[in-house]
Structure 1
Amino acid sequence: MTCKRSLVRRSAAVAAAGAAALVLAACGGDGDGSAGHGDHNAPASSSASASASASASASASASQGQHNAADVAFAKGMIPHHRQAVEMAGLAPDRARSAEVRKLAVDIKKAQGPEIKTLSGWLTSWGEEVPAEGAMDHSSHGMGGMMTAEEMNRLEDASGKAFDTAFMEMMIKHHEGAVEMAKTEQSDGAHGPAKKMAGEIITSQSAEIEQMNQLLGKD
């Protein structure tokens, strides 16, 4: 009887040990499964983080330096355009009779000279060629209100009231071309600072057009 009871006890102990082992295995399996699940989540979390970072980087890039072909065309066209306006304004001190025309010429040089430097800096940073100094190649006349060589010679030869009238009539045409170029940049460009400059050109040169029309009406 004692032997039989020992065998029963041993069997029960073995069974209990086996059950415990199964429980531990099951727990371990769950733990492994959780770990595996966690590992599965880790790349997804990392991927989401990388995606958010890339998105933020792209957004920063867009606001700080992104540009397109319209921006390049705007800069390359506006540089010679501004240079010609500055050249025209440079004729005023020795030729203009009207103090208002002389003041207008000073304002034009003061505004457009720094813009030429800014536009040139953008082109350089974009790896683009800056139009050469004196490259108002007259193949571009008629584009954006650019004066022809003949018109520039006529303005240079004028003085007094004749200069004032010719200067304002030509500059109105010139400004109207710049405003159209600036409107194209605002609608098609991607570079924030260039679009901002375009807006400033539209505002300032439209005001000067109105001023010159009024001055012409007074004569």
Structure 2
Amino acid sequence: MSQTYRHPDLSIDQQHALFTAARRLAEEFTGTFGTETIERFLHTSYDQFAIHGKIPNYLPLLAERFARQRLHALARVEGHSDGRPVVLFLCVHNAGRSQMALGFFQHLAADRALAWSGGSEFAGEINPAAVASMAERGIDIAGEFPKPWTEEIVRAADVVITMGCGDACPVYPGKRYEDWELDDPAGRSVEDVRPIRDEIERRVRRLLDDLDIPAA
């Protein structure tokens, strides 16, 4: 990692973790992106999570995961697509509705399509009631994390599903948009989240039908 991207507020361990993350990403995207692009995406991703006060020891890992997603999105924008459709689920906090939709889509579409999610004001953690209600359906979303959306992620998507983010949701020409009116599971019990979960599953299945993607 170049000296240009050293952050004065990082501990030695955090700096080492980011160096290691940059090397992994450089190996993964060899021939697609150069070191400068990879480091810029990694460090801007880190800064976005740091602003929200997430646990410092996890920030390099979150930054690496989000930077990887952003780089894959940028690659698609620049013409490096494998032909699979991409669906982007957006809500306010990226902690409940969009995460449950992402979980169902990934579970049902398997490797036949890609799905990402994001929030206009992303939260610090996934809604525990959403995690528990999805676990009842055999889908584990506990390993996911709230994140923002970025320009390249929206541009790479073929379908954008919005859920309550209103005017904050990004609009780009040439994309299919759907607005799903769903209750926000924030602050609700698992019992109260179940009907929201079931409605999300119904809509995801309908979306897969529309995209001619067989559900697993």
TM-score for both structures, normalised by structure 1: 0.29
More strand by share: 2
Which protein, 1 or 2, shows the higher relative CO under an 8 Å CA cutoff with sep ≥ 6? 1
TM-score for both structures, normalised by structure 2: 0.30
More helix by share: 1
- For the pair shown, which has the larger CA radius of gyration, 1 or 2? 1
